[in-house]
Every structure is written in structure tokens, then in C-alpha cells.
Structure 1
């Protein structure tokens, strides 16, 4: 398992990645009401598939990370994301998105360092 956290102001995000053989499931959650908002799954040689639950907009995060992951990871992957912060500002939305993508970048660095992807 890989565990990474990021904090900025009242934003606290967590990325946990679990291996299923050669495949990986990535979960990004945070804020004051973590949930399952969007799921993006794929493989290097197949189109990405995204499921957006209700009106959640975390696909901006899951698809950006998936694009990066599919370039370097050879197995199947699923990225699940759900973050919520009451009374979030536009600036906090940008910070939360940027931090989430940074979590994905750090995941790739960890996979490259520890697992030779």
C-alpha cells in the first residue's frame, strides 16, 4: 500500500493506493465529507472510462491522474475520488485540485522508485 497526504489551510487530502496483483486501485479523499464522487479506470492500451456519480466533478482530478498513470503503468488501474469542503471558495477549489494532482504525481514517483514501473 502507498499512503500520501497533503495539507494546505483547511484542506487535507489523502491518497491511498492498493495493489491487486499487477493492477492498482487509487483512492483520493478529503475535506469534511469524504465520499465516492468519480471513478476513472483504464489501461495503457484502452480508452479511459469515467463514472461520475450524481453531480460530482472530481473527474477533473481522476482523469488528469489517469492520463499520467497510463503513460507509465502497465497494469489496469482505477482511480476513485471524492472530496468535499463546506463553503469552499473558488481559490480553495483550485488549491484542492492542484493538491490532488500533486498527490498523483507523487504516486507516480513512488511507483517508479519502489516498484520500478
Structure 2
């Protein structure tokens, strides 16, 4: 398992990656009410598939991480993400998205070291 965290202001994100043989499941959550908002799954040679639950917008994060993973990771992957902050500002949305993608970049670097 890989465990990563980022905090900035009132935003806290946690990324946990669990291995299933050659595959990986990534859980990215945070904020006031972590939840399951969006799931993006894929592999190197097939199109990405995203499931957006209700009106959640975390696909901005999951799809960016997925694009990076599919270039560097040989196995299948699923990225589940949900982060909620009460009264979030547009600046915090931008910051949360950047933090999530940054955690994904760090994960890809760690996976390349395996």
C-alpha cells in the first residue's frame, strides 16, 4: 500500500493506493465529508471509463491522474475520488484539483520506482 497526504489551508487530501497483483486501486478523499463521487478506470491500451455519481465533479481529478497512469503503469487501475468542503470557494476548488493531481503525479513516480 502507498499512503500520501497533502494539506493546504482547510483542504486536506489523502491518497491510498492498494495493489491487486499487477493492478492498483487508488482512493483519493478529503474535505469535510469524504465520499465516493467519481470513479475512473482504465489500462494502457483501452479507453478510460468514468462513472460520475450524481453531480460530483471529481472527474477533473480522476481523469487527469488516469491519463498519467496509463502512460507509465502497465496494469489495470481504478481511481475513486470524493472530497467535499462546505462553502468551498472557486479558488479552493482550483487548489483542491491541483493538489489531487499532484498526489497522482507523486503516485506515478513511486509506481515507476517499483
Between the aligned partners of 1:7 and 1:111, the Cα distance in structure 2 is 22
Contact persistence 2:65–2:101 (CA under 8 A): yes
Q: Which residue of 1 aligns with 2:105?
A: 105
Contact persistence 2:11–2:30 (CA under 8 A): yes
Between the aligned partners of 1:109 and 1:22, the Cα distance in structure 2 is 16
Q: Which residue of 2 aligns with 1:84?
A: 84
Tell me by how many angstroms 1:111 deviates: 1.0
Between the aligned partners of 1:75 and 1:34, the Cα distance in structure 2 is 27
Task: Give the secondary structure class of the aligned counterpart of 1:67.
Answer: helix
TM-score normalised over the length of structure 1: 0.96
Q: Which residue of 1 aligns with 2:42?
A: 42
Structure 2: tracts of 5 or more residues without a match: none
Contact persistence 2:73–2:112 (CA under 8 A): no
Between the aligned partners of 1:89 and 1:28, the Cα distance in structure 2 is 20
Give aligned pairs, total.
114
- The residue correspondences of 1:5-24 to structure 2 (distance < 5 A) are 5-24=5-24
Deviations, residues 26-59 of structure 1 (Å, cap 9, x unaligned): 0100001000000000000000000000000000
Between the aligned partners of 1:48 and 1:111, the Cα distance in structure 2 is 19
Between the aligned partners of 1:5 and 1:43, the Cα distance in structure 2 is 25
RMSD of Structure 2 on Structure 1 (CA): 0.4
Runs of 4+ in 1 over 6 A off after TM superposition: none
